[in-house]
Amino acid sequence: MNPATATDQYLATIPAARAALATAYTQGGHWLVLWGWLFSILVPIVILRTGLMRRIAVTAAGPKDRKNRAVFAVAATFFLLHWALLLPWSAYADWWRERSYGITSIAGGAWFAQSLIGAIFSAISGGLFLVLLYLLIRRTGRRWWLWGAGISAVALFAAIVVQPVVLGPVFQKFTPLPEGPVRETVVAIAKETGTPAAQIVVAHGGDGPGYTARVDGLGGFARIVLGEGLVANPVDTAALRAVVGHEIGHYKHQHLLWLTLFTALLVTVALLVIDRLFAPVARLLGAGDRTLADPAGLPVLVVIFSTFVFLSTPLLNTALRTVELDADRYGLDHAQAPDGAARALLKTIDYRAPSPGRLEEILFYEHPSIRHRLENAMAWKAAHPAVRR
């Protein structure tokens, strides 16, 4: 077989109207990255110019100058106010647009409730994190950013690895996968790869019945979570094996840990940039000679950090695509279902343009393009002629 020809044959099965809609959705999302960054710096600037953060810092510190209390009050207020001011944009970008393209079916009230819960959680957890960060700024001098990198790594680990397990039940309902052929298929590939399979559940709700899966946990614990679409009748057994094999690849190769370390490295650089640029940016934004240790300057810190994140997005996307390709290889080697993988990829067409340009993929794509992954699957199939699933 010819992998390129086989890839084109699979892509030819996608209706032209559906592919065009997916391309419009995907390329529109590229503009959202730019607009999201602009709003993410505009809102902190507005908050800074009101002088509200300064008043809250002084009031919370009180006559005894309780700095930690002042930091928490400023941070919690800032996160909640930031959420409220961005709410119209978030409602458009994260809910209305998703619903208009058929990506989600969640109702507006449910989306708002989830967003509010997330904002409250961010205000509390972010406030506690910033208390520690500002304490380090006050106590460790010019080396604060190195110490800050350490606590940032811990916070990132909690956000990437622990938070989905803790907050998952808040946004989704999980039920055990019933006994039967589907469960037997998942258990079989888990045993073949040496993956614990004590918990195999189906996720209900959230953004809708996705054709997805994931494996939560580290070390000797694993919970295999399947999207409703993946186990809906009739079940494509080969596609199921391919998707679960891919997700087990993430678990076995500890991709979450590697991504945490890579992101922590980026955060370390971001903190160094903040240390060097805080004073001039504060003057530029009209904050005067406010020092980095002053919690009232938090909006300035957020402007610098948001800009750094925006500029480093291609680097993070490259790291994400790298682990996705590694998980693809693992899934192909262990599930041995290249055609199942191809059919599963075509199920994701609604929210991924199938054939972007190479530069577009590098800059904006968190996952390799469908064409890229199809080509890899067909190349694997060509190298293993005995496999025909």
- Joined together, the tokens standing for residue 376 give 């890899």
Return the amino acid letter for 110: A
237-252 and 181-193 are packed helices; what angle lies between their axes, rounded to 10 degrees?
Answer: 30
- Identify the CA nearest to 231 among candidates 247, 213, 214: 213
Q: Are 75 and 295 in contact (CB under 8 A)?
A: yes
Specify the pTM.
Answer: 0.88
In the chain, the DSSP E strands lie at 172-176, 199-205, 213-216, 223-227
What span, in angstroms and rounded, lies between the C-alpha atoms of 219 and 225? 17
Q: DSSP label at 91?
A: I
Return the amino acid letter for 232: A
Per-residue pLDDT of the chain (389 residues; tens, 9 = 90+): 799 999 999 999 999 999 999 999 999 999 999 999 999 999 999 999 999 999 999 999 998 889 999 999 999 999 999 999 999 999 999 999 999 998 888 889 989 998 999 899 899 999 999 999 999 999 998 889 999 999 888 888 877 776 666 666 666 788 898 999 999 999 999 999 988 877 898 888 765 547 788 888 777 777 889 988 888 888 899 999 999 999 999 999 999 889 989 999 999 999 999 999 999 999 999 888 788 999 999 999 999 999 999 999 999 999 999 999 999 999 999 999 999 999 999 988 888 889 999 999 999 999 999 999 999 999 999 999 876 56
What span, in angstroms and rounded, lies between the C-alpha atoms of 28 and 44? 25
What span, in angstroms and rounded, lies between the C-alpha atoms of 215 and 331? 13
Q: What order of strands is seen across the sheet that includes strand 223-227?
A: 172-176, 199-205, 223-227, 213-216
- Identify the CA nearest to 353 among candidates 35, 104, 29, 9: 29
Q: Are 130 and 67 in contact (CB under 8 A)?
A: no
Return the amino acid letter for 120: I
What span, in angstroms and rounded, lies between the C-alpha atoms of 102 and 364? 21
- Identify the CA nearest to 296 among candidates 5, 16, 48: 48
| Angle (nearest 5°) at CA 150 between 147 and 156 | 140
Strands 199-205 vs 223-227: parallel, antiparallel or unpaired: parallel
- Identify the CA nearest to 226 among candidates 238, 218, 234, 241: 241
Which residue reads 């460790």 in tokens? 140
